[in-house]
Amino acid sequence: MGRPYTGAATVYSSPRLELSRLRKAGYFTKGAITSGSWSWSNGDKVQIVTNWTNAEAYMELIFTWTHPHTGENVDMRQRFDMVSKPSNLGKGTVLYFQCPRTGRLCRIIYRAYHARDFRSRWGFIYRLYYPSQTCAKLERWNERYWKAESELERTQGKRNPGKYRGKPTKRSLKRDRLFAELERTDELRYSIAAWPKRLHEIFKDMANS
């Protein structure tokens, strides 16, 4: 794998594996062993093997880690024993990764800050940021608006989230939250709160003159 991002890493700038995307790509097929590869725009790549049977469920990653100082390549092999939990809808089960560093269950794992292995976002010495936390203050509302817009676009083409047993589904509630966030941040990014400090001072001086 190539050298990872060397600054303040974000959840999107670092190589990441999402269970939902892996499932859509055909991994974790129940009763089968599935293998393939996954790559990122920075050149990083892993070989993936998933096994989900009645006896066990696990994922094995095979990749090359590059030492950040010497450039030495090290062959790596990492296994995740998956944890299965009952769905909150009362039907079926949901798979989770178990972070090798913290033991926490998660649905997304990352490799950041020169780490040799994949972990949850809580498993690194340094914090993994969201893009809105690293951008300039005046761009923060734009970042949050674009993020909500992007997530809503990903839901297009999917069946109507609707209700289950008379109650809104988690997907329906999430979609409502995204629409509310889109409306709120659209107002804020054009509000006085998003103006540069210098403009605030100019208008303050004009009001006092």
Q: Are 104 and 96 in contact (CB under 8 A)?
A: no
Asked if residue 149 has pLDDT above 70, the reply is: yes
Does residue 47 lie within any of the structural domains?
A: yes
Does residue 4 lie within any of the structural domains?
A: no
Does residue 129 lie within any of the structural domains?
A: no
Which residue, of 56, 76, 110, is where some domain finishes?
110
Does residue 2 lie within any of the structural domains?
A: no
Asked if residue 194 has pLDDT above 70, the reply is: no
- Residues 93, 154, single domain; the answer is no
What is the reported pLDDT for 152? 74
- Residues 30, 95, single domain; the answer is yes
Does residue 124 lie within any of the structural domains?
A: no
Specify the amino acid at residue 81: D
pLDDT tens digits, 67-91: 888 889 999 999 999 998 887 766 7
> What percent of the chain has a predicted confidence (pLDDT) above 90?
30
Does residue 120 lie within any of the structural domains?
A: no
pLDDT tens digits, 162-189: 777 777 877 788 888 877 877 777 776 6
- Residues 70, 24, single domain; the answer is yes
Structural domain containing residue 151: 135-208
- Residues 156, 190, single domain; the answer is yes
Does residue 1 lie within any of the structural domains?
A: no
- Residues 36, 97, single domain; the answer is yes
- Residues 103, 174, single domain; the answer is no
In sequence order, the 6+-apart residues with CB closer than 8 A to the CB of 108 are 11, 16, 17, 18, 19, 97, 120, 121
- Read off the pLDDT band of 6 (50, 70, 90): very low
CA 191 distance to own-chain centroid: 29
What is the reported pLDDT for 133? 60
Q: Are 97 and 76 in contact (CB under 8 A)?
A: no
Domains in the chain, number: 2
Asked if residue 56 has pLDDT above 60, the reply is: yes
- Residues 84, 139, single domain; the answer is no
- Residues 81, 147, single domain; the answer is no
Does residue 164 lie within any of the structural domains?
A: yes
Q: Kindly give the interhelix angle for 140-155 and 170-188, rounded to the nearest 10 degrees.
A: 150
Q: What are phi and psi of 164, to 5 degrees?
A: -130, 120
What is the length of the chain? 209
What is the reported pLDDT for 189? 64
- Residues 144, 97, single domain; the answer is no
What is the reported pLDDT for 62? 97
